[in-house]
């Protein structure tokens, strides 16, 4: 027993001694596990923060790109807001008293008289660009293409450059606002096409009611884009002063205008003088194109509103030969250049009838050659007196319906013994936007 207990005690002691080192190892393993766990946790936390930062950086980049696109869109929208688009279409029906030229010509027709769209861009205060094409029936032309710049440090002054209306009241009065269908005969004769290419200096008084215009133009009288046909430039000027009588409800515009220019004789050395005799000229010399005019417009707040407008002009105009480069002397003499002293005038009487109706009467007179009359005048030199009676109905701010009857009365002679049957009835519908 004793030996057995000794042996068992010895074994127990041996086992006790063997257990102690295992506990130590376990402690070491536990500490290592804890270290690994915290290390992995800390690493994962670092990775999570870094990943989040990368994601935030990516989103911030996308937000910045979006901001840039928004700024670009706002810039484009700002430019679009500076563009103004307007225009009008005039569709009409005409009934002629007789054929246009020959008996087999039409006595009536539908047509698009004007179809215009106007683009106005104002990128800065005092800077404006204008472009206006016309898409009327069978015709595509550029009516306006010009830039206007207010002159820095010179108040009320602006500079125009490009193709624009010539400085004249009826020429500058828009076809979309004019009370009758077409401009007066004298204006159509001396300002064909209405527009010209050049530069213009304009003053619009802010403190004094004064308007001054001075233009330097090619003087081609074509009204279309073209380089100058000769070296000499034509000049125009217009001065208008406005008077207001508020107690009487009256406004008056008084103006004068003038034109000074010439046309060079290029191919035809012959000219038909003012009285009709044929003379020779030196090729390269200039034929006169000079006149003066006066104007008045009276606006009265009387029984719904009325207006009286008038203009008179007189001077010397020239007409280039249509023979061109024909070298035969007989042919050249048969179609020489022409120099004529003309006169012409017009006056309007306009009366509003209620808020939607308007009654209009216009009388205009034009004599292409006031130095001759009767048989001494050629068919193209007969004077014309023309009545135009019209009424307007404004359906709304955008639609206007017009009815007009025009009665031209021509001078007669042995070649044209009677008044031509050229009266015209016109119905027009105008839509503007």
Among 81, 106, 121, the domain boundary falls at: 81
Q: Give bridge partners of residue 307 from the DSSP assignment.
A: 299, 350
Among 22, 52, 81, the domain boundary falls at: 81
Domain match, 32 and 161 both: no
Domain match, 320 and 394 both: yes
Confidence of residue 15 (pLDDT cuts 50, 70, 90): very low
Confidence of residue 330 (pLDDT cuts 50, 70, 90): low
Domain match, 254 and 367 both: yes
* Terminal alpha carbon distance of the chain: 129
- Residue 128, pLDDT above cutoff 70: yes
Q: By C-alpha distance, which of 214, 189, 183 is closest to 199?
A: 214
Among 66, 81, 96, the domain boundary falls at: 81
- pLDDT for 304: 84
- Residue 131, pLDDT above cutoff 60: yes
Do 184 and 171 meet the contact criterion of CB atoms below 8 Å apart? no
Candidate from 22-36, 201-215, 374-388 with smallest mean pLDDT: 22-36
Q: By C-alpha distance, which of 377, 380, 384, 396 is closest to 422?
A: 384
- pLDDT for 98: 82
More confident call, 278 vs 205: 205
Confidence of residue 378 (pLDDT cuts 50, 70, 90): confident
- pLDDT for 384: 96
Domain match, 3 and 69 both: yes
- Residue 136, pLDDT above cutoff 90: no
Q: pLDDT over 90 for what percent of the chain? A: 55
* Domain coverage including residue 257: 82-432
Token pair of 321 as six digits = 């030969």
User: What is the C-alpha to C-alpha distance for residues 382 and 15, in angstroms, rounded to an integer?
Assistant: 148
- pLDDT for 190: 94
- pLDDT for 89: 97
Token pair of 85 as six digits = 């688009």
Half-sphere exposure of 55 (CA within 13 A, CB side): 6
pTM beyond 0.85: the answer is no
Give the mean model confidence (pLDDT) for residues 127-134.
96
User: What is the C-alpha to C-alpha distance for residues 431 and 433, in angstroms, rounded to an integer?
Assistant: 7
* pLDDT tens column, 297-322: 999 998 889 999 999 999 999 887 65
Do 297 and 253 meet the contact criterion of CB atoms below 8 Å apart? yes
User: What is the C-alpha to C-alpha distance for residues 6 and 409, in angstroms, rounded to an integer?
Assistant: 160
Domain match, 90 and 72 both: no
- pLDDT for 66: 63
Domain match, 104 and 199 both: yes
Do 190 and 170 meet the contact criterion of CB atoms below 8 Å apart? no
- Residue 402, pLDDT above cutoff 70: yes
- pLDDT for 227: 82
Domain tally, the chain: 2
Give the mean model confidence (pLDDT) for residues 283-300.
94
* pLDDT tens column, 17-41: 444 445 566 656 666 666 565 554 5
Strand 357-367 relative to strand 195-204, pairing: unpaired
């Amino acid at each position: 027993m004793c030996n057995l207990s000794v042996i068992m005690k010895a074994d127990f002691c041996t086992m006790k001694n063997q257990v102690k080192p295992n506990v130590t190892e376990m402690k070491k393993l536990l500490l290592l596990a804890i270290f690994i766990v915290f290390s992995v946790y800390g690493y994962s936390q670092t990775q999570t923060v870094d990943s989040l930062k990368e994601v935030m950086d990516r989103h911030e980049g996308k937000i910045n790109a979006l901001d840039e696109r928004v700024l670009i869109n706002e810039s484009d929208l700002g430019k679009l807001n500076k563009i103004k688009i307007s225009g009008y279409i005039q569709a009409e029906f005409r009934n002629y008293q007789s054929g246009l030229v020959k008996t087999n010509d039409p006595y009536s027709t539908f047509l698009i008289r004007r179809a215009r769209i106007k683009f106005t861009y104002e990128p800065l205060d005092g800077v404006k660009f204008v472009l206006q094409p016309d898409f009327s029936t069978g015709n595509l032309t550029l009516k306006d293409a010009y830039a206007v710049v207010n002159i820095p440090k010179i108040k009320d002054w602006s500079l125009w450059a490009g193709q624009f209306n010539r400085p004249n009241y009826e020429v500058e009065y828009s076809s979309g606002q004019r009370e009758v269908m077409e401009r007066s005969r004298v204006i159509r004769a001396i300002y064909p096409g209405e527009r010209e290419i050049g530069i213009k200096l304009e003053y619009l008084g802010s403190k004094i009611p004064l308007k001054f215009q001075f233009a330097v133009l090619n003087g081609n009288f074509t009204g279309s884009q073209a380089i100058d046909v000769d070296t000499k430039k034509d000049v125009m000027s217009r001065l208008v002063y406005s008077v207001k009588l508020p107690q009487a409800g009256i406004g008056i515009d008084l103006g004068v205008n003038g034109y000074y220019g010439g046309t060079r004789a290029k191919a035809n050395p012959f000219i038909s003088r003012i009285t009709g005799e044929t003379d020779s000229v030196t090729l390269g010399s200039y034929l006169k194109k000079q006149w003066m005019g006066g104007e008045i417009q009276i606006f009265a707040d009387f029984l719904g509103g009325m207006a009286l407008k008038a203009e008179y002009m007189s001077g010397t105009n020239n007409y280039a030969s249509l023979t061109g480069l024909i070298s035969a002397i007989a042919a050249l003499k048969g179609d020489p250049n022409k120099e004529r002293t003309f006169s012409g005038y017009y006056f309007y009487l306009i009366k509003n009838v209620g808020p939607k109706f308007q009654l209009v009467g216009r009388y205009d007179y034009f004599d292409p050659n006031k130095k001759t009359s009767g048989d001494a005048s050629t068919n193209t030199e007969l004077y014309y007196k023309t009545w135009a009676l019209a009424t307007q109905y404004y359906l709304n701010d955008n639609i206007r319906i017009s009815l007009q009857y025009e009665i031209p009365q021509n001078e007669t002679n042995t070649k044209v013994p009677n008044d031509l049957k050229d009266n015209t009835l016109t119905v027009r519908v105008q839509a503007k936007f």
